[in-house]
A and B are shown apart, each in its own frame.
Chain A
Amino acid sequence: QQPVQSPQAVILREGEDAVINCSSSKALYSVHWYRQKHGEAPVFLMILLKGGEQKGHEKISASFNEKKQQSSLYLTASQLSYSGTYFCGTPPVGFGNEKLTFGTGTRLTIIP
């Protein structure tokens, strides 16, 4: 079953913060985050492999709550380039190198 992301869409002004949530009805073993711009392929952001793990790169970070079967992506001081649709992806079993089931997606629009 597909992970559910919230919100479905959000519009922010440049410099504002955003949080995107990914919730699964099944146990999560790892969570992948990708960003896709219109008409392009998804671009990898990060992988969280263990419950309780938090990771970040520049102004984008993520957390993984294994018990709650959810992950959150945090975008701080958003830039225009952050616009796009964000997807979480989860493998069915095992580690993060198996096939992925992608979440419902969150469309983020950053305006000047």
Chain B
Amino acid sequence: GAVVSQHPSWVICKSGTSVKIECRSLDFQATTMFWYRQFPKQSLMLMATSNEGSKATYEQGVEKDKFLINHASLTLSTLTVTSAHPEDSSFYICSARGNSGPSYEQYFGPGTRLTVT
């Protein structure tokens, strides 16, 4: 099956610094990737849709200048949390869907736990 990886698995950073999270599709090309945020015991909330070669589409209420998304290739999307604050601490998960065939499934990465101190 399709595999999506994320790096790092977890990160602890100081308030005010920036953190970059990578999402890679390992065995398929993904024209579209999605970034979610999940707080403890809550559902996944879609933050943005990342499209290869174009600007990301952000959901209402998500600050695009704070959460920078770059989808530079068909296998890599990055999320950079700029000037992180403790309230940004969360579990960030990416997902990807293929760009061919009848598959409608989204393949999720293992997630990145961000802790801002």
Contact = CB atoms under 8 A, between A and B. Distances in A.
B34 interface: yes
Contact of A105 (B36, B43, B106): B43
A99 B43 contact: no
Interface residues of A, number: 23
Contacts, number: 50
Q: Is the interface of A mostly helix, strand, loop or mixed?
A: loop
B104 A30 contact: yes
B111 A99 contact: no
Interface string B37-77: 00000111110010000000000000000000000000000
Interface residues of B, number: 20
B107 A87 contact: no
Contact of B43 (A32, A39, A40, A102): A102
Contacts of A43: 108
Contacts of A49: 104
Q: Lowest 4 CB-CB distances: which A-B pairs, in order?
A: A96-B104, A41-B108, A97-B104, A102-B44
Interface of A: 2, 30, 32, 34, 39-44, 47, 49, 87, 95-97, 99-105
5 contacts: A42-B44, A87-B44, A97-B104, A99-B46, A104-B43
